[in-house]
Amino acid sequence: MSLALDGIRVLDLSRLLPGGFCSLLLADFGADVLKVEDTGMGDYIRWAPPYYEGAHESARSALFLSLNRNKRSIRLDLKNERGREALLALVREHDVVLESFRPGVLDRLGVGYERMREENPALVYCAISGYGQDGPKRDASGHDMNYLGLIGLLGLTGERGGAPVQAAGQIADLGGGALMAAFGILAALRERDGGGPGSGSTGSGEGQLVDVSMADGALSWLAMVAASYFADDAVPHRGDLPLAGSLVCYRPYECADGWVTLGALEPKFWQGFCRGVGREDLIPTQFERPGSPAHEQVAEIFKARTRDEWEAFARENDCCLEPVLELDEALSSELVASREMVVELDQPGAQRPVRQLGLPVKLTRTPGDHARLPGPALGEHTEEVLLAAGYSQAEVAELLSAGAAAGPAGDRSGDRSGDRSGGQQDLSFRV
């Protein structure tokens, strides 16, 4: 069975989470994703513990494998003219380039978007950065928390009067960067290629630059919050938002042996909760604030039962009440199992199957496949990719000996992975 993105070829020059997760989505649905890594240590996340023992040293990190199944790897030195020439040769044959350098880095190396477009006018070039390709913070470094702080989301997260609370998931990296990049790439490909018979869109045949700012993307998550502010000029503060802690009916509550969430926003759900606990007198207090007498009473009600007892209660009373699970509980839950959100991958040499999260999008006719390829060793496919690009065996050997390219980590052919000082991307990469 063909996959939805069969035939789409992606050069992924990014590292770590935002670009890695973006290209993972594309790869799981059939895109041919080629990681372009430096001739030093490559993608930093390759070396992050914990490890699956027995697998290749450069492909045993659980974190790396979680983002890089279904991909291949080539190593090029972009500070070497011949390495840049090899990159441009690959650009001619690919649909997409994905990168996450600081803006302008590839331009200074002579292989930026405009240069790549000369080689391939149909190229879709996606650049993920913290603050975008222009603007006052274009060149600033940053991490997920910095972006969330600057766009107001972090400041709105937490209890009134308390400190800002960091989320366990990387909202800006994933929701603001990876997902926006995947959407932008697919939108640009759709515009280039058209919509097929009957769509009325034949496609331009031209590529374009997709500029993804993780700050922009995370800010878009505040669409309704910002809309309210624009309409009434009332500045919200931490703990004031209806969906972030200001309502008795929509909060986490401590129970006898843990925590549960109550999401009874609609009157019918709140009424169901109140009637279920025998407290119809609380029905009028649905939208009171934390700290009110009603909140104190609801908090005491929750403390009187265990988490399991509240789960049983929710099965009998439709009120949007669910337990707060620890990660191990969530990953072993019936919900996660039934949705195939934990999968296994056979990684060469690993002493046991690699367990990972599954595909979050389910297509009925062309479902994705998490196990087409294992995670690649660093530079595992350098020679085969260069040969397929038209280089002769002798030319490939010359590139390797000159250090313009490198074979698998540990191979003496131009390998510098043992020098953990990194490669050409170290001074220019935005995490």
> Which amino acid makes up residue 318?
D
381 is an active site residue: no
The answer to whether 261 and 324 are in contact (CB under 8 A) is: yes
12 is an active site residue: no
Residue from 10, 161, 1 nearest 98 by CA: 10
The answer to whether 91 and 119 are in contact (CB under 8 A) is: yes
Contacts 24+ apart (CB under 8 A), 409-416: 409/42, 409/56, 409/57, 409/58, 409/377, 409/378, 409/379, 410/57, 410/58, 411/379, 414/39, 414/75, 415/39, 415/379, 416/39, 416/40
Question: Active-site residue among 38, 77, 95, 173?
Answer: 173
Identify the bridge partners of residue 37 per DSSP, sorted by sequence position. 75
Q: Pairing between strand 9-12 and 32-37?
A: parallel
The answer to whether 98 and 22 are in contact (CB under 8 A) is: yes
Active site residues: 143, 173
